[in-house]
């Protein structure tokens, strides 16, 4: 699966492709070439340690903690402010808005904000449909319903590493990261089966956009008149 071409949105008409990026529930980026399968496959098959097609809670947590170890540069069992900054600026810069300090083509593409309120799998909690008689919570501004890592991920967490800091003290412990992994597993295990399968995973907003553009491109090719023989 790959991204289809599109204009750059600035009138130049120069073709651009959607990035082929997946960010795991723990926040780890997986990047693939344009013509390669969407890299959620690479994450799932690596995390599925016994390769039985079922990603259990223990495997899911172990995968998250493996990424924690990569971020904990000084091996003190804590992701501190400097290590978090390294994650955001160097490991997964796609989750940040494009700014001058980042290299070319790094940072989040501003067109990939996916604010469609119909996107229920990625809708923020405060914009869920309300029941009759229940106070309506304010909906997110159009165009910013899903941001940051959530564009490339299975869950709506714009910064999944920082979100694990439940103590709000700027220090993410290994225990906090493991607890975040368990919460995220529960979000994805909607039937409480105790495991996830590749086929049952939700599509990321980016993955959905890639599929849509591929379908549109295939339709355009099918509608083109045949080229007469020379």
24 part of a folded domain:
yes
Average of pLDDT values for 192-220? Answer: 92
Instruction: Report how far apart, in Å, the C-alpha atoms of 136 and of each of 118, 139, 146 are.
Output: 16, 8, 20
Q: Which two tokens stand for residue 178?
A: 């493991």
229 part of a folded domain:
no
Alpha-carbon distance 29 to 67, whole Å?
10
Alpha-carbon distance 48 to 27, whole Å?
17
Average of pLDDT values for 92-113? Answer: 59
Q: How would residue 34 be classed by pLDDT, with cut points 50, 70 and 90? A: confident
Domain count of the chain?
A: 1
- Angle at alpha carbon of residue 202, lines to 168 and 9, rounded to 5°: 85
Query: Phi and psi for 195 in degrees, rounded to 5?
Result: -155, 160
Q: How would residue 138 be classed by pLDDT, with cut points 50, 70 and 90? A: very low
79 part of a folded domain:
yes
Instruction: Report the SS3 class of residue 21.
Output: strand
Q: The tokens 């975040």 sit on which residue?
A: 180
13 part of a folded domain:
yes
Alpha-carbon distance 127 to 142, whole Å?
12
Alpha-carbon distance 41 to 102, whole Å?
28
Per-residue DSSP letter, 131 = P
Q: Note the Cα 86 to chain centre separation in Å.
A: 18
The tally of CA atoms less than 13 A away on the side-chain side of residue 123 is 15
Q: Give the chain's mean pLDDT.
A: 80
Q: How would residue 87 be classed by pLDDT, with cut points 50, 70 and 90? A: very high
- Angle at alpha carbon of residue 18, lines to 162 and 116, rounded to 5°: 65
Predicted local confidence at residue 27, as pLDDT: 98
Q: Note the Cα 90 to chain centre separation in Å.
A: 17
221 part of a folded domain:
no
228 part of a folded domain:
no
175 part of a folded domain:
yes
Q: Which two tokens stand for residue 20?
A: 């082929």
Q: Note the Cα 122 to chain centre separation in Å.
A: 10
Question: Range with the lowest mean pLDDT among 117-121, 156-160, 184-188, 201-205?
Answer: 117-121
Domain carrying residue 205:
5-215
Predicted local confidence at residue 145, as pLDDT: 63
Average of pLDDT values for 124-147? Answer: 44
Alpha-carbon distance 73 to 190, whole Å?
34
Average of pLDDT values for 122-148? Answer: 45
227 part of a folded domain:
no
């Amino acid at each position: 699966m790959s991204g289809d071409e599109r204009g750059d949105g600035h009138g130049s008409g120069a073709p651009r492709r959607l990035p082929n990026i997946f960010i795991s529930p723990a926040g780890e980026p997986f990047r693939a070439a344009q013509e390669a399968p969407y890299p959620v496959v690479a994450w799932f098959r690596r995390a599925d340690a016994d390769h039985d097609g079922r990603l259990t809670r223990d495997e899911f947590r172990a995968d998250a903690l493996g990424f924690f170890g990569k971020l904990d540069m000084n091996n003190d069992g804590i992701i501190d402010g400097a290590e978090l900054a390294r994650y955001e600026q160097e490991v997964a810069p796609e989750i940040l808005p494009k700014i001058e300090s980042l290299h070319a083509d790094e940072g989040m593409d501003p067109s990939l904000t996916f604010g469609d309120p119909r996107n229920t799998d990625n809708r923020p909690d405060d914009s869920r449909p309300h029941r009759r008689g229940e106070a309506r919570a304010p909906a997110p501004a159009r165009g910013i319903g899903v941001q940051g890592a959530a564009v490339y991920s299975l869950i709506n967490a714009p910064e999944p590493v920082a979100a694990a800091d439940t103590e709000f003290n700027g220090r993410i412990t290994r225990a906090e990261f493991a607890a975040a992994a368990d919460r995220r597993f529960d979000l994805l295990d909607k039937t409480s089966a105790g495991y996830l399968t590749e086929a049952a995973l939700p599509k990321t907003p980016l993955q959905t956009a890639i599929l849509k553009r591929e379908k549109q491109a295939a339709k355009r090719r099918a509608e083109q008149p045949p080229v007469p023989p020379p």
